[in-house]
Amino acid sequence: MNLPGIVSGIVSGLLGIYLLIVGLMTSNGFEEIIISIIFGLFFIGVGIYMLINSKREDEIEKVKYKKSVSPKK
């Protein structure tokens, strides 16, 4: 796994959790609660996707490297 993908995923997930907690604590109306839930869940989802995708991209890079290094016939 590459480090930038892991760090970005963790930061995005923590930002989503922060938005959920602070948004729910400081919201005054129903609309603000809905908006904070939408943005919080969005950032949590992006963080999870980045963590999963960073491993997949690493595997793709390994395959590309093996093909470029292998001797051509």
Among residues 55, 24, 28, 58, which one has the least CA distance to residue 39? 24
Domain ranges across the chain: 3-62
Name the packing angle between helices 30-69 and 3-26 (round to 10°): 180
Rounded average pLDDT over 3-26: 88
User: pTM for the full model?
Assistant: 0.70
* Per-residue pLDDT, 41: 93
Rounded average pLDDT over 5-12: 86
DSSP 18-42: HHHHHHHHH--SHHHHHHHHHHHHH
* Per-residue pLDDT, 66: 72
Q: How confident is the model at residue 14 (pLDDT cuts 50, 70, 90)?
A: very high
Using the structure block, give the residue that is written with the tokens 């970005």: 8
* 27-69 pLDDT, tens digit each: 888 898 898 899 999 999 998 888 887 766 667 777 777 777 7
